[in-house]
Amino acid sequence: MCTAIGWQGRHFMFGRNLDLEYGFRERVTQVARGSLLRFAAMPPVRTAYAMLGMAAEDGGFPLFAEAVNEQGLCAAGLYFPHSARMRAAGDMRKGERAAEEKAAAAGDIQGAEGAAAERAAAAEDIQGAEGAAAERAAAAGRAVAPHEMVAALLARCADTRQARAFLQGAEVVSIPYKNYPVPALHWLVADRYGYFVAEPAEGGLRLYDDPAGVLANEPPFPFQLHNLHAYRHLTAAEPACGFGMPLQALYHGTGGVGLPGDAASPSRFVRAAFYRANSRPFAEAGEGEGRGEGEDEADVAEQDAAQMFHMLSAVEMVKGGVLTEEGRPCYTRYACCIDADAGVYYLKRYGSLGAEKFTLHRQGAEEIK
């Protein structure tokens, strides 16, 4: 279970709570521009942009849970166990063979040879994969394993427009990575220009605009967004009295009465959407603590990061408050905030009072750090 939020403060910020009952050997990982990524069902590519985020510590492919690239594009994968529908790897291979046979039967020898060459390039011939054959394969169809999605998007897309175009017609394929189980996920993709959700469903990958700017887990996104209609009365301001009497508000916050406070995914979605919609920069003009003459851009960025962490804390899971069927506590193992404008990743681990700070190196020699 997880919650992700995108928010435009003075910088564009993207954050998520990672809620699990177990760790996945996670560590902050950086992938340099020009690194070679080998995909399970697509030709290898060299990254057009450097990336920074949290990934499973494996030493091979960067198994990102969430990340940002140097253009400010962000993506996060969230648990989607009951509704995710992925194409079986065997079905994909049958489709490839059928396409080759059809091309050969029609006399299109070049097409048949090209398809075989692309698969050979994906397996061995890296130079060929980086050439025209790989481009033709990418244009004809994109089969992405769920563990590859964040890296596949951030490696080649500069913004949400390009990311959405890349995913048009793409398929999510059920291919494991090494001995890891195939994760059932959906994704929030965001930058300062927009937000969308990608969900693997019956019939293919579905893309949805996300005006709420948040994502949780089950049920599918259309339900989560429609469910906000039931909470349209919520307000950060003091509500008007509906009794026809001069009743006074006895305390602040009565406009939020009815805001769900439990840890269930629909409740976290509503709560995240409410606080994001009403969130203000850490200090505004006239409040006496805003940016002054001596305050630099770094101060502004850290104030926005602090505000994002406050939003995430409103949907965090306390250890012991939620138990799995096996009786294990599911809790917010970490919260992160990404300053997409500055290329900074802030991390708060459960049990730590402070935040760690990591900076994206836009030029680097190492492929995976």
280 or 72, greater pLDDT? 72
Q: Do the domain assignments include residue 351?
A: yes
CB 186 within 8 A of CB 206: no
Q: Which amino acid is at 337?
A: C
Domain containing residue 35: CATH number: 3.60.60.10
- Angle (CA) 172-132-168 rounded to 5° is 30
CA distance readout (Å), 159 to 68, 194, 231, 305, 341: 11, 9, 32, 21, 12
Q: What is the pLDDT of residues 254-298, one digit of tens each?
A: 999 999 999 999 999 999 999 999 998 766 544 555 555 556 777
116-130, 194-208, 212-226, 293-307, range with the lowest pLDDT: 116-130
The pLDDT, as a whole number, for residue 106 is: 53
Q: Do the domain assignments include residue 300?
A: no
Q: Do the domain assignments include residue 17?
A: yes
Burial of 249 (0-12, 13-18, 19+ CB in 10 A): exposed
Q: Do the domain assignments include residue 295?
A: no
112 or 55, greater pLDDT? 55
CB 271 within 8 A of CB 314: yes
**Per DSSP, what are the bridge partners of residue 13?**
7, 339
**Average pLDDT of the residues in 2-31:** 94
Q: Do the domain assignments include residue 113?
A: yes
Helix (H, G, I), strand (E, B) or coil at 174: strand
Q: What is the pLDDT of residues 310-331, one digit of tens each?
A: 999 999 999 999 999 999 999 9
The pLDDT, as a whole number, for residue 209 is: 98
Helix-then-strand count for the chain, H and E:
9, 18
Burial of 57 (0-12, 13-18, 19+ CB in 10 A): exposed
Q: Do the domain assignments include residue 38?
A: yes
Does the pLDDT of residue 102 top 90, yes or no?
A: no
Number of structural domains in the chain: 1
Domain of residue 167 covers 2-217+319-359
- Angle (CA) 319-321-325 rounded to 5° is 100
**Average pLDDT of the residues in 302-308:** 94
Q: Do the domain assignments include residue 164?
A: yes
Classify strands 63-69 and 51-56 as parallel, antiparallel or unpaired: antiparallel
Does the pLDDT of residue 137 top 60, yes or no?
A: no
CB 38 within 8 A of CB 70: no
Residue 2's pLDDT band (cuts 50, 70, 90): very high
The pLDDT, as a whole number, for residue 132 is: 42
Omega cis (within 30) before 219: yes
Give every CB contact of residue 326 below 8 A, 6+ residues apart in sequence: 21
Q: Do the domain assignments include residue 304?
A: no
CB 161 within 8 A of CB 71: no
